[in-house]
Amino acid sequence: MSTSDVFKQTIRQNLGPVLPYLEDKTVSEILINGPSEIFIERKGKLERVPTQFPDEDALRAAVTSIAQSVGRRITDEEPRLDARLPDGSRIAVVIPPCSRKGTTVSIRKFTNNKISFADYIKTGAITEDGARFLDICMFLGKNIIVSGGTGSGKTTLLSLLCSRIPKGQRIIVIEDSSELQVEYEHVVMFETKQADAQGKGEVTIKDLVKSSLRLRPDRIIVGEVRSAEALELINAMNTGHKGCLGTVHANTPDDAIVRLEALAQGGDGKISEKALRTQVTSAIEMIVQISRFSDGSRKISHISEVRGFHPDGSYNVVPIFQMSRMTRRPDGTLDGRLEPTGNIPSFAQEIVDNNLPFPMSKFSPAKSA
Q: What is the pLDDT of residues 5-50, one digit of tens each?
A: 555 666 667 788 888 898 888 898 999 999 999 999 987 788 999 9
CB 141 within 8 A of CB 356: no
Minimal CA–CA distance to 219: which of 173, 158, 267?
Answer: 173
Mean pLDDT across the chain, nearest whole number?
A: 89
Rounded to 10 degrees, the C-alpha dihedral 15/18/20/26 comes to -130
Minimal CA–CA distance to 161: which of 87, 242, 244?
Answer: 244
Q: Answer whether residue 104 shows pLDDT above 50.
A: yes
Q: What pLDDT sits at residue 295?
A: 83
With H, G, I as helix, E, B as strand and everything else as coil, classify residue 235: helix
Ordered domains of the chain (ranges, CATH): 3-108 (3.30.450.90), 117-363 (3.40.50.300)
Beta-bridge partner residues of 220: 172
CB 288 within 8 A of CB 302: yes
Q: What pLDDT sits at residue 367?
A: 65
Distance of CA 17 to the CA centre of its chain: 29
CB 21 within 8 A of CB 30: yes
Q: What pLDDT sits at residue 39?
A: 96
Q: How many CB atoms lie within 10 A of CB 182?
A: 18
Q: How many CB atoms lie within 10 A of CB 314?
A: 11
Residue 246: in which H helix or E strand, if any? Answer: strand 245-249
CB 291 within 8 A of CB 271: no
**Angle, helices 229-237/205-212, rounded to nearest 10 degrees:** 20
Q: Answer whether residue 369 shows pLDDT above 70.
A: no
Outline where 70-201 has alpha helix (H).
117-123, 128-139, 154-162
Q: What pLDDT sits at residue 343?
A: 97
Q: Answer whether residue 261 shows pLDDT above 50.
A: yes
Residue 305: in which H helix or E strand, if any? Answer: strand 298-309
Instruction: Give per-residue pLDDT as tens, 160-217.
Output: 999 999 999 999 999 987 778 888 889 999 988 877 777 788 899 999 999 999 999 9
pLDDT band at 70 (very low <50, low <70, confident <90, very high): confident
Q: Answer whether residue 3 shows pLDDT above 70.
A: no
